[in-house]
Amino acid sequence: MKIPRRKFLRLAASTSMLSAFPRNALALDYPTRPVRIVVGYGPAGPIDIVARIIAQYLSEHLGQPFVVENRPGAATNLATEQVVRAAPDGYTLLAVVTANASNATLYRHLNFNFIRDIVPVASVARTPGVMDVNPAVPAKTVPEFIAYAKANPGKINMAAVGVGSGSDLAGELFKTMAGVGLVTVQYNNPGPALTDVIRGRVQLMFDFIPSSIAHIKAGEVRALAVTTAKRAEALPDIPTVGESIPGYEWSGWMGIGAPANTPSEIVDRLNQSVNAALADSKVKARLTDLGEEPIPMTPGEFGKFVAAETEKWAKVIRTAGIKAE
């Protein structure tokens, strides 16, 4: 039987709408039960606190509990693998952090490929860094410090909180771009590292602004520069490292990821909700009080950002010959 062309087009259109309906319905219904956000660090740390702020907003606005689950260990690799192996249904999410980008090169035998196995959902916040020196260091600016370091090769100690940590990578990037030789002293925790900068046992540390700012204001350490591309709101009078070394940039960051093959409708709904949280005045105020800078992005933009960070730190790690302990 021959079907008139107009009737055929109507049937085709209705069939297309029916095939799309389950996926659209999935996004409209999501979530229908509690959602986990797996964090690769212990409770009460900065990543955990930021994750809980976002989880609270999502719980209130999406009608289901968003529960933070702490899964520390192996530099966030345990948490990442747990999410990689979870069902791609939007009910198990990952707090994606800077370490995920660097771990891709630091660890040669991971049971996952982060770029392939985790889909970017939303960017949340950036934590600006700062270049701290002991006040006895005779340098008030980055150029002065570089000149001082070149005049004293191998005599300036730089604190780092573990091999391949953010502070370690920030320092190695600085050494490479500034062409200076610094002696790296490793610590297990940031507290003792910063204490030794204050006491003059080591002369330099790249730290996050939230943990350093009280000591900077008290005059216990001198902030030579912030490490973000633009001047930091918390220290507006402090120049950036990039003003002296063009292209230098280091900061911590956090976002949300999900297992690969999570439906795009769910990813989009989560992205819109996280971005709405970042636009909320109360959420913005809480993040700002912590020294965090909200950085909303689309899933595509966040994916490009993570890929660029992964490539950037891969070069630093290979150049410096850093290997995970």
For 48-100, how does the pLDDT look when each residue is reduced to its tens digit (9 = 90+)? Answer: 999 999 999 999 999 999 999 999 999 999 999 999 999 999 999 999 999 99
pLDDT of residue 26: 53
DSSP strand pairing (293-294 vs 118-133): antiparallel
Report the candidate in 161, 251, 268 with the shortest Cα–Cα distance to residue 209: 251
Residue 27 located in a structural domain: no
Long-range contacts of 21-25 (CB under 8 A, 24+ apart): 23/263, 23/265, 24/265
Tokens of 250: 């280091």
| C-alpha closest to that of 57 among 302, 303, 284 | 284
DSSP-based three-state secondary structure for 40: coil
In a domain, 76, yes or no: yes
The verdict on residue 154 lying in a domain is yes
Crossing angle of helices 142-151 and 166-178, in 10° steps, is 80
Same domain flag for 110 and 63? yes
Give per-residue pLDDT as tens, 263-318: 999 999 999 999 999 999 999 999 998 889 999 999 999 999 999 999 999 999 99
Burial code (b: 16+ CB inside 10 Å, e: under 16) for 159-197 equals: bbbbebbbbbbbbbbbbebbebebebbebeebeebbbbb
Task: Kindly give the interhelix angle for 264-279 and 46-62, rounded to the nearest 10 degrees.
Answer: 110
Is the peptide bond prior to 4 cis by the omega test (within 30 degrees of 0)?
no
Residue 325 within any structural domain of the chain: no
pLDDT tens, residue by residue, 89-142: 999 999 999 999 999 999 989 999 999 999 999 999 999 999 999 999 999 999
Q: Which of 177, 210, 243 is the last residue of a domain?
A: 243
Task: Decide which of 155 and 325 is more confident.
Answer: 155
Same domain? For 215 and 234 the reply is yes
Give the number of domains in the chain.
2
Is there a contact between 291 and 78 (Cβ–Cβ < 8 Å)? no
Residue 58: domain span: 35-127+251-320
Give residue-wise pLDDT tens across range 206-251.
999 999 999 999 999 999 999 999 999 889 999 999 999 999 999 9
Pairing assessment for the beta strands 35-39 and 92-97 based on DSSP bridges: parallel
Q: Tell which of 184, 213, 243 closes a domain.
A: 243
Residue 187 and residue 95 share a domain: no
Cβ–Cβ < 8 Å for 248, 241: yes
Question: Which residue matches tokens 């209705």?
Answer: 14
Residue 207 bridge partners (DSSP) = 130
Whether residue 149 is found in the same domain as residue 225? yes
Co-location of 214 and 150 in the same domain: yes
Does residue 129 contact residue 158 with C-beta atoms inside 8 Å? no
The model's confidence at residue 8, banded by pLDDT at 50, 70 and 90, is: very low
